[in-house]
Every structure is written in C-alpha cells, then in structure tokens.
Chain A
C-alpha cells in the first residue's frame, strides 16, 4: 500500500546537508525552523525535501499552475519561484498549517461541503490562494474570487464548486 512505503526524513535526496550553502531561519506554520540549503534551492524544494511537507505540489515548475502556492508573510506566492534565501526571517504557511483535522479552516470545511475537490492535486494551492484573498478582502464578489484564483489551475472541477466554497467560507468567517 502507498501508505506503507516508509517515508524518509533525509535533509535532501542526496542524504547529506550540503557542504556549501546558506542557513535560513524562518517561521514555518507557526514554528521557527532552520535549514541549511544550497543557494539555488527553491522554497518548494525546502518544504518538500527538508521538512517533508508535501502538501505544496510541483505541477509545472515555472509558476504557471499554482499547485505550489503557499503564504509568504500572508501573501500567496508560487513556492517554485521563490529562492530559499528569500524566506530567511519571514513567515511561511503551507496547507499543513492552515488547519488541522480537529480544527479545519472554514475554507477547508466548505471545500468538503461544496464538493470543491476532485483529484485534490490543486487543492492545497487553491486553499492558500483563497485564504490570501479572504485576508485582504473578507467579502469578495464572485468575480473577485474568480480573478484571485485565476493563477491556480484545476483540470477536474471547472472551478464552479470551488468558487461556491470560497463564498460560503467568506460568509461564515464574516459571521453572516
């Protein structure tokens, strides 16, 4: 079974921390962390390979699909385009930090209730783009939601139920 494949917690595919590199310290999902990485590594690589946080996905590697979207100081960014050095001293939130199984973020709840997920590969990035939108605009129109999510590609859903979920979450968060 896939779940029985033992997960390694190696610092990187090569197994050893790099001899030459830079040390970055940042807040990751509320916890201060440190990593030593080669300067060409991206934030996406650091999340997945150093911290084994695999919620952020690589879908294109060039910042077009949004599957790697995370929050950097509250703003949605494509983690595949952010060099690791750029996050030093900053705050990163991934889907793993958005809400836990016992305390789902309203967006996560409404993505489930509105059936806004099919294969789930784009979902983490989609959730974080939506979270960034609601942070700067707690009461977005349907059009504003569509524009805010236009950088996150989904090939399964046609986005209709995703937009409905974001609207419902916004209403709940605003207590409407």
Chain B
C-alpha cells in the first residue's frame, strides 16, 4: 500500500503563501468602518484604583467611547485554568502589576485612540509591592489576592529519602536560579472583531480558539453560539498566546458599539501585557551510590508566578513531576510552589517549568559524576529510564522509551568532536551533556481532542480540527495522519482549522500535545470514514469490504487487482444516496490525577525523551561564550514530518541558547527588543539534529511530540559544558559575561 504521507519530507503547503508575503496575519486585516483601540494600563505595580476620569478622553475628537470595568457585561474574571482564574478584563478597584488593563479607548483613528488613552486620568493609591517570592510567603507580606500569596503547591513523595541520604556514597547539594523570560514571538498580538448575523466574530492570533470562546462568553455574558473565534495565521506562540490578549478588548468594544474593532499590540505593549516564563529558585540534594546510581533526589522549587495565576498551577505540577529527570530514582521528596508577586504574570512558556528544573537536575547529575570521577554521559546511561521502569510518580512506563538510544547517539557525536579543532578563536573549551523527559499533554487530567473528517462530493476529503497552527506544523502533521488513515494522497485532504463555528474543540496547542492527541483523534476519524467508504464500495464492486482497500485515488480489491472503483464514483454514490459521510474521532490519553499528598499517579500517557551535547568555547578576556556545536537526539516516537521535527529541534536549541546565555527579562528595563536580546543567526551553533523513533503504541503511527522537548536539554548541556570550560559551575541563568568571568576566576583558584 502506498502509505507515505507520514514520514514524507515534502514541503508544507502553507510555505508558498508565506514566502510570497500573502498570508494575512491579524494585524494585516482591515475591516471597513473599524474602530481602533488603545488599552490604558497601570503604571503601578500594586495600588488601589480610587478613581478613573474618562471625561477629557471621551471629548477627544474621534474618540467613540471609553470603557472601564463597569462596562463588562458578564463576569469580569478570566484565566485559562478555571479554578485559579483571577485576571480582570479591566481593573476592578485594584491593580497588581505594571501593565494591568484599567480602561479601553475606542476611536475612529489610531491617533485619536492614543490621544484619548493619554487623557484618561487614573487615580492610584499605592500599596506595598511584593517582588520576591520567598518574602511573599512570609506571614507579614501584603496579600496580593484574597486567598493568599501561595498560588499552588504540589509535592511528589516516594520511598525514604532520609535513609537514602544517610546511606549514600555521595550527596551533592546545590541551589539554582533561572530567569524571567519573554516569549518574543516576532508577531505581536493582534485581533479584529465584528458582528455577523448577531454573532460576535473575533479573528485573532491564538493557541486555543475554543478556550478563548469560553472565557469571552463568561466576560460578555453570552452563550457560546453568539461568539465565534477564528484563529488568524499566528506568528509564533511558545505558550504566550494561550492566555487571552487582545480578544476580550476587541470583543467588548464591538459588542457595545456594534462596530468592527481592531487592536494591534506594539512590541512595548506585548512585553508589558503578556505572560513570562516563571523564574525558579531550586534547592537540590542528590544522593548516589559508588557506581553513580541515584538513590535519592530532594528538591524544593519556588516559582514566581507574578501577579496572576495564568498557568502557574500547571507549571508547579509539571515542575514537580519532572524534578528528578528521566532517571530511576527510588526515593524522592519534591515540593514545588508557585507564588504570587507584583511582577508581570508568569504563564506557559515552552516546557511549563520543565526547562527550569532540567537546569537543576542536570547540573546535579554532572556533580555526581564529578564526585565519583565518572563520565557524565555514563552516569546518565546507568540511571536512564527504560521500558517498563517506574517514574518518580510511580508510573510504569510503556515500550516507547528512547532515552538510551538518544544518549548513545549524542555520545557517538561527542566522540567525533574530541580532538577536533575549534571553529574559531582560542580559549578554553568544554563539552557538556543534558538529558530530559517530557510528559505529552496536560498533567493528570483529561485533555481530549475531537476531529472530524468528511468525504466530499468531488472524491476529496475535508479534515476539521480545532488545533491551532502557530507555525510549528500541526496542519502538516494532522493532514498526513488523515491521509494515511484513509490511504489517500494528502493532496486530496483539505483542511478547516481552528474556527469555533466549524471545528470541534481540540484543546490547546500546548504541552507538545497536538501530534499525539489531535493526531490520535484524526486517525480515528479517518479510519472510521475509510470503513464507511469500503462498505459503500462493497456494494458498487460486489466484493466484500474485507477484500477492499483505499489506495491513492481509488478503492481496489486486494485479491483481484483489476477490480477497482475511483473515489470520485464512490463519492457520487454517497451524494445520490442523500449525503456525504462525516466521521468523528476523539482521543483522550489515559491518565490518573496525582495524589494530593504524595504526587503519585499516572500524569501522562506517554513521554518524549532527549539528550543533547554542547561544545562551548570561552573567551577568557571578555567572558564571551561561543556555543560552537550542539548535537541533539530526540525520541519523538515517529517523525511525522522529518524536516518539521528538525525545525523544532533547531528552533528549540536557539531558545535554549538564549535561556542559557542571554535572556533575563527585567520588568523595569525591558520595553522592546533593543534591550531584551534573543539569539540571532550569528549566535547559533552548528546543530546536528537526530530523530530517534521509539514508537508509541497509543500514538498516531507511533508519534509522540517534540515542540517543548526540543528546548529543554539545551541550557543544561551548555551550562555543563561551561562548567568544564571554566573549571567552576555557574548556578544562575543566564550565564552572562560577568558570571562567566567570575566562574573563570573561581576555576583558577
């Protein structure tokens, strides 16, 4: 059978329009008669709002209306995780961070809207701001939210840690810190809203149109059938477009004025208004026996979730579950807490806390190796989880565990680097390893995806999926899965995507879940539709369906190859008989909730695994670090679109290099990309991506996921390499020039 869309390297369909500049992102949309919006945002980190005077603003020529919290018709509260939803569309008497929305100005021109926004007078009565998560937990600290400053706490407890610590040959202790990071997708948030037949339509960049609709309905007090969210082509997300951004503002203004409205964030507003990666403080104790086998891991994790919960709960849980790394650890004690402060709110960013803890546990693994005089790669090999073994939540892994092969593959590349000349310059060189595992999908909860496939009258197919394509390539993955589930050429499969009026909820494009979960839903729908087509062909050919197969553009008999019928004819037969068939597929991976006290359970149905090695060179005069090479082996189950998998890996490596060496968002300083620096082409190492395929039986054609895993091992590998180059370890990210020079100094002592 010509099965081949899965695994094919042919180019993605969307790229033609993208290289021609023909794709209209939300900021490129113009609706006749549209109003322009500007949000008035808090200048205070923590304050009571004692008055908002909109009189002068409303009088500006061209200003149509100024909105405040009183204009929110529904419940003025939203948040992607419902139990901790705590954000307001417009401030209700209090602001908790600089950038909190206070008022909204709608005007005929962008200039008038900006002038109106300047003339909104907000009276603040400052409150003490809490800017440190440890201080936020002190009894005397000002409460940022009524329920207190602890947003969420998760523990994972297993075995007898104290006994293991006392019996270990080696115990290493360390405290690690990571930075606040801005997603810095190149497309700032944008959206338009308009009314169409009484339905409020919002076209916007987003990672989750169905969630957007749910919270828009709550905010506006509307039933779901009155709100339609259509995902515009989205210029990157990385977790930062999971929370609502422009959507509630354009929706509110259109709902009140009846006019189309558009809101486009400037980069400055995007920085001020969007979520950030949680900065973590982590205290680790790791115990091992003489052979380097792990006996215990103890970790205390403190994450600054800023002014609002957003995904803080999910980050706290995922960090806890992943805190010991992809290793067999019999005794574990982890406490993970997300804490409110008056900083910009932290949310989802590629990895949900896993990249932060990977810096902690992988630094510890190198220190165990050093303490015992062992090769760091060998220590990881000795502890690596394998099929049928247990994670720290007590979950027994299935067969899809490719970690050992990942370690082996990067080990072979590392061996080739030994003694190879540097790419440029002098200075000490170091090679380091980083490994990880990553649970696919949401943690310990149902997170289904539903998809539909329809047979069309022309013999083609239409795949309906709610999965948001944000550049990563889910359109391509899902189309390929659909084509192979049916057995047809992928060119026959049309795609209708991420429109709440036309597609069912696929859940968020997050947690590296769309390939595995939405892919599973598409597979089921495609197979069900294929069955119906065969049963119809059975009547047309008078051959039992069991002997028939869909192949490319026809249905043919397996035993009598000359007996066949074109798909077009099968389609006409359906059309004449009264309608085209459409089938539904649904996939919800099997998980169990984590126990509240012990954190034991089955948080994910499957895991991705990876290992990377990095070679760095340090300029001893300036402290400048050059990441020369990175080899990255990723077990993705099955590479559905290998160039896309490579692209995810190289993109993840870039983000990891930024996390390791460059990126720390300073809320008081960083307004734009002139001070907040992300890696450029000139900062990139040579990358050697390797796709490892340990097929996942429950995944579509064996596939798992790669989006977040791509990033996670990079910073640990770079920092472990730096520790070797400098002769001393850096405990805090990013490793900037000063930190590197300081480490070089310590290394000489």
Taking CB atoms, residues of chain B closer than 8 Å to A56 are 21
Q: Are A146 and B682 in contact (CB under 8 A)?
A: yes
B256 contacts the other chain (CB 8 A): no
Q: Mark interface residues in A43-57 (1 if CB within 8 Å of B CB, else 0).
A: 000001000111111
Taking CB atoms, residues of chain B closer than 8 Å to A118 are 236, 471-473, 647, 651
Taking CB atoms, residues of chain B closer than 8 Å to A173 are none
Q: Are A6 and B32 in contact (CB under 8 A)?
A: yes
Give the residue of A54, A121, A145 whose beta carbon is less than 8 angstroms from that of B236: A121
Separation of A112 and B20 alpha carbons in the complex (Å): 11
- Shortest Cβ distance from A151 into B: residue: B680
**CB proximity of A4 to chain B, nearest CB, Å:** 10
- Shortest Cβ distance from B502 into A: residue: A1
Give the residue of B19, B472, B654 whose beta carbon is less than 8 angstroms from that of A108: B19
Taking CB atoms, residues of chain A closer than 8 Å to B111 are 14
Q: Mark interface residues in A146-164 (1 if CB within 8 Å of B CB, else 0).
A: 1101111111111111110
Give the residue of B646, B649, B681 whose beta carbon is less than 8 angstroms from that of A150: B681
Separation of A57 and B230 alpha carbons in the complex (Å): 21
Separation of A107 and B15 alpha carbons in the complex (Å): 12
Q: Mark interface residues in B61-73 (1 if CB within 8 Å of A CB, else 0).
A: 0000000000000
**CB proximity of B311 to chain A, nearest CB, Å:** 19
B450 contacts the other chain (CB 8 A): no
Q: Which of A48-103 contact B (CB under 8 A)?
A: 48, 52-62, 64-65, 67, 94-96, 99-101
Q: Which of B441-485 contact A (CB under 8 A)?
A: 470-473
Give the residue of B187, B650, B652 whose beta carbon is less than 8 angstroms from that of A119: B187
**CB proximity of B456 to chain A, nearest CB, Å:** 17
B684 contacts the other chain (CB 8 A): yes
Q: Decide: A60 near B267, CB < 8 A? Known: A6-B31, A10-B30, A160-B687.
A: yes
Q: Are B109 and A14 in contact (CB under 8 A)?
A: yes
Q: Are B650 and A160 in contact (CB under 8 A)?
A: yes
Separation of A10 and B34 alpha carbons in the complex (Å): 12
Q: Are A155 and B646 in contact (CB under 8 A)?
A: no
Q: Which of A2-40 contact B (CB under 8 A)?
A: 2-3, 5-8, 10, 13-14
Q: Are A119 and B185 in contact (CB under 8 A)?
A: yes
Separation of A110 and B236 alpha carbons in the complex (Å): 22
Q: Are B678 and A153 in contact (CB under 8 A)?
A: yes
B614 contacts the other chain (CB 8 A): no
Give the residue of A65, A112, A124 whose beta carbon is less than 8 angstroms from that of B673: A65
Q: Decide: A2 near B235, CB < 8 A? Known: A54-B24, A112-B19, A153-B673.
A: no
Q: Are B230 and A117 in contact (CB under 8 A)?
A: no
Q: Are B647 and A115 in contact (CB under 8 A)?
A: yes
Q: Are A155 and B650 in contact (CB under 8 A)?
A: no
Q: Are B187 and A57 in contact (CB under 8 A)?
A: yes
B36 contacts the other chain (CB 8 A): yes
A127 contacts the other chain (CB 8 A): yes
Separation of A121 and B647 alpha carbons in the complex (Å): 15
Separation of A14 and B21 alpha carbons in the complex (Å): 25
Q: Footprint of A on B, CB under 8 Å?
A: 11-12, 14-32, 36, 108-111, 183-188, 192, 194, 203, 230, 232-236, 238, 266-267, 470-473, 499, 643-644, 646-647, 649-655, 672-674, 678-682, 684, 687
The 8 closest A-B pairs by CB, nearest first: A55-B21, A119-B471, A121-B235, A120-B18, A158-B650, A95-B21, A158-B654, A115-B643
Q: Footprint of B on A, CB under 8 Å?
A: 1-3, 5-8, 10, 13-14, 48, 52-62, 64-65, 67, 94-96, 99-101, 104, 107-108, 111-115, 117-124, 127, 145-147, 149-163
12 other A-B residue contacts (CB within 8 Å) besides A95-B21, A123-B21? A2-B24, A2-B29, A7-B24, A59-B188, A95-B19, A111-B15, A118-B236, A123-B18, A155-B183, A155-B185, A155-B678, A160-B646
